[in-house]
Amino acid sequence: MRVQKHCLLVLTLLGGLTGGLVSGAAIADSQAPSIPNGVNAQAIDSSSVRVSWNQPWDNVAIEGYNIYRNNQYYATVFNTNYIDYSVSSGGNYEYAIVAFDAAKNYTTLSAKVAVTVASNNNQEAAPAPTNNDQNLTVPSGLRSSVENGNAAVIYWSAPQGDVKGYNVYRDGSYITSTANTEYRDTQMSWGQDHRYQIVAYSQNNTFSEKSAELTVNTANNNRSAERPQSDPVQQSASPAQQSGGVPEGYSQVFADEFQQYSLDSNKWNSQYRWGPWLTINEEKQFYVNRLQNPDFGHSPFSFDGEHMTISAIRTPEHLKSSANWKPYLSGALTTYNKFKMKYGYVEIRAKLPKGKGLWSAFWLLHNNDYDRRPEIDVVEYIGDKPNIAYNTYHYYLNGQLKSSPTMEASGPDYSQGFHTYAVKWEPGLITWYVDGVERNRFQDGNASWEDMYLLVNLAIGGKWAGDPDGNTQFPAQMTIDYIRAYQKN
């Protein structure tokens, strides 16, 4: 992010800024949020229901939600989704939502939504085994691919024998039969372990034994293959198998798959370490500190259970004084004081925004403000140059800023889909990758040997990107599938 040119200024000003900032006077809030809409209730299985709704508007900030079930108060939550595990098989339930803000202004009840929980008595029966076919082996190679918060595809290898189809078992119970060597389960519970086993059956309705179990959890994107019963100490897949560009012999040390519905404060800060009031690179945005200032009145971070999106908007009139009179609001995340590393491989899979004045970036920055003060820009993307991903390394030598050439990785219009951007950082060598293919490298004794932390942000304007123009669309969105870091074993 070319912060290096401003590091000395930042360090000089921080002392004065930290003691001199005064928050605005508190304003009495008597306005209730808008009534939640888009309420949806879906039975997950015979013992649980997922309830979700759209985030309403508030003049300050939403604090939480009260859930009503069958016209009675039932629970309070702080996200726009809830799983009700206290339902009965075959039961009928009705849900409605009330939103409230920090001043405890409550909305009226939302529209009600009804749902009927599936009955165990109506569950399809599994074809019953007659006798085992000695020529029909057990299905093996179970593995999964998580699609979203409540869906995953389970795969397996066809066994030997005259196979007609397969019975799929989840958590010990039969759920369906299929003629294919895969099954897409859309009724999973987010954050819950589900155990899968497969039974093959032949044309004569003879059956194999159950396969070894595969455990899948959509919350942590578990894609582990089954552990064969005959090999209790099977090694996990190598990092190179987990992701095409990850080097052999590296293990994951940090990851956020963004399959939750809020920021993980154990992993992230939602502002730069020098605070929100100092703007670098002559940029035009104010970064909203969602974690430390949840009542700001706007959050740039949103989640769909599979991705996180950083959205930049024009600053609403009523928030301009809170936003230091910056014309745009956006978001930045860092792992400062939460995660740092020295050497390794880092990657992001993201869809980057197109448009004049948009400057999205994933980078590493020095953890300490002395020595070489390095910065590795894994990817910088200037929205009006959609076919170029930029790679740069900055550091200080004898008090003078030094930089590698601003290297280009030309390709397709990167804004049209998800791409993986990565750096392999070794002693004396920094190598950049796009979609697993090496694109640029910096080989020099000045390559960073200091601890560094991760940053990701969507900036607006600045000396490099220029100002947005009439064709720049807002909200501008940087959508992130995952961020991961690995180090050599």
pLDDT digits (tens, 9 = 90+) for 355-405: 999 999 999 999 988 778 999 999 999 999 999 999 999 998 888 888 998
pLDDT tens-digit readout, 252-302: 999 999 998 899 999 999 999 988 888 888 899 999 999 999 999 999 999
Same domain, 148 and 89: no
pLDDT of residue 220: 60
Output 67 or 225, whichever has higher pLDDT. Answer: 67
Does 224 score more than 60 pLDDT? no
Percent of the chain with pLDDT over 70: 85
* Residue 452: pLDDT band with limits 50, 70, 90: very high
Report if residue 380 sits inside a domain: yes
Same domain, 455 and 354: yes
pLDDT of residue 96: 94
Same domain, 306 and 218: no
Sign of CA dihedral 404, 406, 411, 417: positive
Does 9 score more than 60 pLDDT? no
Active site residues: 375, 380
Same domain, 273 and 403: yes
Report if residue 238 sits inside a domain: no
How many angstroms separate the CA atoms of 214 and 235, rounded?
A: 15
Q: Are 414 and 386 in contact (CB under 8 A)?
A: yes
User: Taking all residues of the chain, what is their mean pLDDT, rounded to a whole number?
Assistant: 82
Q: Residue 301 pairs with which residues in a beta bridge?
A: 310
DSSP 170-199: ETTEEEEEESSSEEEE--PPTT--EEEEEE
CATH number for the domain that contains residue 110: 2.60.40.10
Same domain, 371 and 274: yes
* Residue 14: pLDDT band with limits 50, 70, 90: very low
Percent of the chain with pLDDT over 90: 44
Give the tokens for residue 367: 């953890």
Same domain, 442 and 295: yes
C-alpha dist (Å) from residue 238 to 125, 228, 252, 486: 39, 17, 10, 12
Does 150 score more than 80 pLDDT? no
pLDDT of residue 263: 94
Same domain, 205 and 273: no
Report if residue 480 sits inside a domain: yes
Judged by average pLDDT, the poorest of 19-33, 254-268, 299-313, 461-475 is: 19-33
- Where a domain ends, among 88, 119, 150? 119
Same domain, 208 and 301: no
Query: Nearest-CA neighbor of 170 among 159, 162, 178?
Result: 178
pLDDT of residue 199: 87
Start-to-end CA span in the chain (Å):
30
Contacts 24+ apart (CB under 8 A), 216-219: 216/144, 216/146, 216/152, 216/154, 216/188, 217/191, 217/192, 217/193, 218/146, 218/148, 218/149, 218/150, 218/151, 218/152, 218/188, 218/190, 218/191, 218/259, 219/149, 219/190, 219/191, 219/192, 219/259, 219/260
How many angstroms separate the CA atoms of 135 and 335, rounded?
A: 55
Report if residue 48 sits inside a domain: yes
Same domain, 345 and 221: no
User: Into how many domains does the chain fold?
Assistant: 3
The stretch 97-117 carries a mean pLDDT of 89
Same domain, 189 and 273: no
CATH number for the domain that contains residue 261: 2.60.120.200
Q: Which residue is listed with tokens 């909305």?
A: 107
pLDDT tens-digit readout, 321-356: 999 999 999 999 999 999 999 999 999 999 999 999
Report if residue 484 sits inside a domain: yes
How many angstroms separate the CA atoms of 420 and 78, rounded?
A: 32
Report if residue 4 sits inside a domain: no
Q: Are 255 and 242 in contact (CB under 8 A)?
A: no
Output 227 or 54, whichever has higher pLDDT. Answer: 54
Same domain, 206 and 306: no
pLDDT of residue 241: 30
Dmax (CA) for the chain in angstroms is 82
- Where a domain ends, among 67, 84, 119? 119
- Where a domain ends, among 119, 154, 181? 119
* Residue 133: pLDDT band with limits 50, 70, 90: very low
Report if residue 239 sits inside a domain: no
Same domain, 112 and 145: no
Judged by average pLDDT, the poorest of 125-129, 146-150, 248-252, 297-301 is: 125-129
Q: Which residue is listed with tokens 């940087």?
A: 478
pLDDT of residue 145: 78
Half-sphere exposure of 255 (CA within 13 A, CB side): 17
Report if residue 65 sits inside a domain: yes
What domain range is 359 assigned to? 255-488
